[in-house]
Amino acid sequence: MAITGLALVAFLLMHMSGNLKMFISGEAFDHYAHWLKGEGDEGGILYPLIPQGWFIWIFRLGMMAVILLHIYSAVTLWRRAKIANPDTYVAKRRLAQTYSARTMRWGGIILLTGVIFHLLQFTVRATLFSGTADAAPHEMVLGEFSIWWMVVAYAIWMVAVCMHIRHGFWSAFTTLGANTSLKAQRVLNGCAWVIAILLYIGFMIMPVAVLTGVLN
Ligand code: HEM
């Protein structure tokens, strides 16, 4: 759970920095998107080490494996917790309702639902319409985030994502043995908040800039 969770946080930091290329220019963002997918004349990332266009699919398969392992670990822990605390008595029911039980499980499900919508909105659409004028990644981003309720929906979804990361980051390092003293606990807690706030601002600044016309 800890290792796959941290790998997903690393992906998000990379994804966030990629999105920020919109502040350089639409072309810079498109170049980055095409480079990852091996769609440019130069052959894209890791070409010629691997054939053109392979990287993105290797990466997607790797991400899928990480996500499935993360969900598998969550379900296993959920089941173990249920066996340890069967819902027979009021006192036990309260025990099962820990902070992580409430927010991590339901937060994780909200997060996953959002990811499915997100992939349909961008990746599936880009794959279906590649080769048409509508396919320029920055055009797609400008179109989607000029809709006010879309930006509001993302702002709410990102609260769920960042709450999940705040607790998950802390929990992952605790699992890995870093939470050994009161000072370590304070440092971990501080780092978890910094990562969560950084991701929230880093992700939301671009859609807000599109909506308000700063990026057009
Ligand atoms: C405000 C927040 C976000 C914005 C504006 C955003 C934007 C985008 C855009 C524009 C793409 C398509 C890029 C392209 O096709 O060239 C994309 C792909 C993707 N995003 Fe996000 N994203 C956000 C948050 C997230 C979060 C929180 C996650 C995961 C929890 C996520 C996971 C992904 C994945 C897995 C892809 C597909 C990558 C691929 O093509 O294989 N995104 N995002």
Question: Is residue 1's pLDDT more than 90?
Answer: yes
Q: Can you give the pTM of this predicted structure?
A: 0.91
Q: In sequence order, what DSSP letters do the residues of the chain get, joined into one string?
A: -HHHHHHHHHHHHHHHHHHGGGGT-HHHHHHHHHHHHT-STT--TTTTTS-TTHHHHHHHHHHHHHHHHHHHHHHHHHHHHHHHS-TTSHHHHHHH--HHIIIIIHHHHHHHHHHHHHHIIIIIHHHHTTTSGGG-HHHHHHHHTTSHHHHHHHHHHHHHHHHHHHHHHHHHHHHTT---SHHHHHHHHHHHHHHHHHHHHHHHHHHHHHHTTS--
Instruction: Dump pLDDT digits (tens) for 22-48.
Output: 999 999 999 999 999 998 888 999 999
Q: Which atom of ligand 1 is nearest to the CA of 137?
A: 16
Residues with CB under 6 A from ligand 1: 12, 15, 19, 33, 56, 60, 115, 118-119, 122-123, 126, 137, 141, 154, 158, 161, 203-204, 206-207
Instruction: Provide the token pair at 102.
Output: 């409430």
Instruction: Dump pLDDT digits (tens) for 67-91.
Output: 999 999 999 998 998 898 776 555 5
Sign of the four-CA dihedral 10, 16, 21, 24: negative
pLDDT at 103: 85
With cut-offs at 50, 70 and 90, classify the pLDDT of residue 93. low
Question: Is residue 96's pLDDT more than 70?
Answer: no
- As a whole-number percent, the residues of the chain with pLDDT over 90 amount to 80
Question: Is residue 147's pLDDT more than 60?
Answer: yes
Ligand 1 mutation target, pool 9, 13, 15, most atoms within 8 A of CB: 15
Q: How far is the CA of 211 from the centre of ligand 1 (A)?
A: 18
For residues 33 and 47, give the distance between their C-alpha atoms in angstroms, rounded to a whole number: 15
Calculate mean pLDDT across residues 191-209. Answer: 98
